[in-house]
Amino acid sequence: MSISVIVKIVVTVLILGGTALSILSAFGMLRLPDVYTRTHAATKSTTLGVLCTLLGTFLYFWQTQDIVSIRLLLGIVFVFLTAPVAGHLICRAAYRSGVELAQESTEDELKKVLDKREKREN
């Protein structure tokens, strides 16, 4: 088994795994009942999926054409840093603007803390 066949198998596994994670997060966004649970599904698994896909692309161009692309590595680092921050900020904005939790959820711990702080300031 030559080296290029092994590289192609590894790249195939990485890309198919990444896109499978992406479609999994799409089904999570379709079926979950709430803004917060949907953000949970959309942020984590899509980030891991796109990281796997970009890593597969990087390996392919490194092994077949001898291109070590710094731009692709920077893209991997940037997506890995910024996608959870964006999910956190949009969740916080949803809570502050008064979007309700789902019917099935039993306890809202942040509401107690915010009420106590508001009472102390008044």
Partner 1 sequence: MFERILLIALFFLTVSILVGLYRVIKGPSLPDRVVALDTIGINIIAGVAIFSILLNTHAFFDIILLIGILSFIGTISFSKFIERGYIIEYKRDC
Which of 6, 74, 110, 114 lies at the binding interface for partner 1 (CB under 8 A)? 74
Secondary structure of the chain in the HEC alphabet? CCHHHHHHHHHHHHHHHHHHHHHHHHHHHHHCCCHHHHHHHHHHHHHHHHHHHHHHHHHHHHHHHCCCCHHHHHHHHHHHHHHHHHHHHHHHHHHHCCCCCCCCCCCCHHHHHHHHHHHHHC
CB nearer to partner 1: pick between 20 and 113: 20
Q: Does 101 interact with partner 1 (rule: CB under 8 A)?
A: no
Build a one-symbol-per-residue string for 8-37: x at contacts with partner 1 by CB under 8 A, - elsewhere: x--xx--xx-xxx-xx-xxx-xx----x--
Q: Which residues bind partner 1 (CB under 8 A)?
A: 8, 11-12, 15-16, 18-20, 22-23, 25-27, 29-30, 35, 38-39, 42-43, 46-47, 49-50, 53-54, 56-57, 60-61, 65, 67, 69, 71-72, 74-75, 78-79, 82-83, 85-87, 89-94, 96-97, 99
